[in-house]
Amino acid sequence: QVQLVESGGGLVQAGGSLKVSCAASGRTSTTFPMGWFRQAPGKEREFVATISSSGALSYYAESVKGRFTISRDNAKNTVFLQMNSLKPEDTAVYYCAAGAYGSVMKNYAYWGQGTQVTVSS
């Protein structure tokens, strides 16, 4: 089993930056590819970014490309999402997930509880 705990969410003004983290514990002898997803009120959960096990590969949803950066520190079993030039439409609960590389939610085996990111206009 793998436990994922997100942190770093909060309230930020439009145009600002925020960095959220996801710490993995449990079966961390295996390095999983990971992803970030988000869910805004009244909307379905959507893909944000994904990163390979080594960190060499990543890709992003079109809506965040050029503004968000996913990275990882395997020595600390932590994945990050640096969010710049934030917009009110980025407001959502952000979830990290482990076990797959890509944008398909059902492929991910493990999920965190989420961290709220609110962008004020």
3-state SS, residue 8: coil
Query: Computed from CA positions of residues 27, 95, 86, 56, in that sequence, does the dihedral angle turn out positive or negative?
Result: positive
Q: Given pLDDT bands bounded at 50, 70 and 90, which one contains residue 21? A: very high
CA-CA distance, 49 to 67, in Å (whole number)?
Answer: 11
pLDDT (0 to 100) of residue 26: 87
Residue with tokens 């439409």: 89
* pLDDT confidence of residue 46: 98
Token output for 50: 């994904």
In whole angstroms, give the CA distance from residue 65 to residue 59.
Answer: 8
How far CA 48 is from CA of 25, 75, 76, in Å, comes to: 22, 24, 22
Share of the chain above pLDDT 70, in %: 98
Would the pLDDT of 29 be above 90? Answer: no
Does position 28 have pLDDT exceeding 90, yes or no? no
**8 A C-beta contact, residue 51 and residue 79:** yes
- What tens digit of pLDDT does each residue of 79-102 get? 999 999 999 999 999 999 999 999
Contact between residue 18 and residue 7 where contact means Cβ atoms under 8 Å apart: no
Tell me the pLDDT tens digit for each residue of 53-75: 999 999 999 999 999 999 999 99
